[in-house]
Amino acid sequence: MSFEFWKVVFDWSAVVLIGLTFIAGLGALVTGKVVSARQAREFQIELDAANARATEADSKRVALQTRILDIFGARQLTAEQSAGVAKKLARLKGTKVDVYVFKFGNPYSRTDFGHDSDLAVALVHALRGAGIDAEAWLLESCQDSGASNLVVGVVGNDPHNHKIAKRIADALPAEIGVWPVVEPNFFAVTCAKFSPLDPSMLNKRTHEAKISIAIGKKINPVLTREMLEPSDEQRKP
């Protein structure tokens, strides 16, 4: 065979070899891209999971801070808690309830008991949301009479009134420091003066209710794990 024939064979062999090399390189490049894409997806999944854990941790931190503020800070009713109270007491429509705040100090300064007054007004609104006939009163010149935290009381020994008072106590959120036992209400004979608590919310009747809620000085409790991490049942409004 001639030299020209072998030259053509060698030239085509070189072309084929170059083509195969190019294809092999292209395949390696595509494979590399596939591997890189898979690694990128795995990295993104891990990153998303880390972000989710960080968000959850931050939510728990905020919830814990809020919980501590609820326990040691000023007593107040959130909109959710007020709605929960109104829902639980909806069947007590027409029941009369008096909410009391004590006027202590000489001279008296509303600033000293502003949080108590604000809580009383909020309770009145929540009770009225359930259709309850609620009024707020400021008690003055009370002899040997007062309350710590928040006490639901009842006048007399009527079992029906006592049962309603217990329902009201159970419906109030524990965060505002509710005394677990319904107590006798002797304020009518131990306090010399009753006046409307909030001049902008004049009362429509006298302090004649058999059931009362007395708001006394808040006593900060000893923290427990159960208080910081309440059960799902306790979280229900």
Is residue 102 scored above 60 in pLDDT? yes
pLDDT, tens digit, for every residue of 118-164? 899 999 999 999 999 999 998 888 776 566 688 999 999 999 999 99
pTM for the model stands at 0.61
Domain boundaries in the chain? 1-73, 79-219
The whole-angstrom separation of Cα 117 and Cα 195 is: 13
Planar angle of CA 82, 227, 130, nearest 5 degrees: 15
The residues that bridge with 98 in the sheet, in sequence order, are 135, 212
In the DSSP assignment, the letter for residue 199 is T
- Alpha helix ranges (H) inside the chain: 3-72, 79-88, 114-129, 159-171, 187-190, 225-228, 232-235
The whole-angstrom separation of Cα 76 and Cα 15 is: 86
3-state secondary structure of 37: helix
The whole-angstrom separation of Cα 197 and Cα 125 is: 13
Q: What is the mean pLDDT of residues 54-58?
A: 73
Q: What is the mean pLDDT of residues 38-63?
A: 75
Cβ proximity of 75 and 216 under 8 Å? no
- Beta-carbon count within 10 A of 186 CB: 13
